Structure 1
């Protein structure tokens, strides 16, 4: 079983979603990005500690070679990889980088309408565009901030779906 498969299986069993895995060039640092969709405020330090402790034991038993394990939330500008990510974050602003150019460009940004039959629909000022999921090299959420006033000082609140 490869590391990605092992992490996916373990995290699913704990009730978390594996968003991404990164290994440093020499494989010494293993970074694991997790999410819990039903948790409205997102991943916190307690979640990261719980997952880190559990994964440390699992990786030791499975004899996975690494020096340091880092467990983190995917952040406000999280990557979208799976079809379910594109469905979950419909209505959010995203940026896309394509593998092969469309309309002479590889980089796009706009409102994610959703995904149907493996095609992601993006709403831009110039109109809607459908992109094959396989042609997406990288897709990220664009964080939105609502500003308000609190005691005369501007306040920024993160908008999270």
Structure 2
């Protein structure tokens, strides 16, 4: 059995989700795990005990399989979790994400939008669109803490760009540091 399949089977068998496997030239085997999202339940996070449990099981399994590695590291995906599959995009719809496209948007897409044709990186809210996915953002600079904002200030308009998963080079949750924890997503508006 291949190393990736062995690790994935072990991690999922213990009730976790495999996010990423990375091997370095120095013999480091890095395994990133997450808690699977259960509909209707609050989001759970990986802790040190979870990593320890997976580490012990993987050490045993990899020894039995005869896998070559010098050091095993099991960790959580962190606040800038990579988004790799359709399932990840569905799970994190409505969250702030950083997206890097494989190719620049080009002059045809940028025409009249005010976006540079050579732009490949975007930060905004991930949303489901009719043709796949879209990211929505505003070019308005963030307000610094303690600075008063006029009530008459006109907000910059929101911009949106549609994309498919095939067009993405890299997608990650944008690191939001909030010492009160990530805010729960507001429920989607229902149509009447």
TM-score using structure 2 length: 0.71
How much has 1:135 moved relative to structure 2? Answer: 1.9
Counterpart position of 1:157: 180
Counterpart position of 2:10: 10
Q: Which runs of 4+ in 1 moved over 6 A?
A: none
Counterpart position of 1:29: 28
RMSD between aligned residues: 2.0
- Evaluate the alpha carbon distance shift between residue 160 and residue 13 of structure 1 in structure 2; reply closer, same or farther with a 3 A threshold: farther
Given that 2:33 and 2:75 are in contact with CA atoms closer than 8 Å, whether structure 1 keeps it comes out as yes
How many residues are paired up? 150
Q: Secondary structure at the match of 1:32?
A: strand
- Which runs of 5 or more residues in structure 2 are unaligned? 107-117, 139-157, 185-192
- Evaluate the alpha carbon distance shift between residue 157 and residue 86 of structure 1 in structure 2; reply closer, same or farther with a 3 A threshold: same
Aligned equivalent of 2:125, options 111, 126, 148:
111
User: Quick one: distance in 2 between partners of 1:37 and 1:65?
Assistant: 29
Greater Rg over alpha carbons, structure: 2
TM-score using structure 1 length: 0.84
Aligned equivalent of 1:81, options 80, 84, 97:
84
- Evaluate the alpha carbon distance shift between residue 67 and residue 90 of structure 1 in structure 2; reply closer, same or farther with a 3 A threshold: same
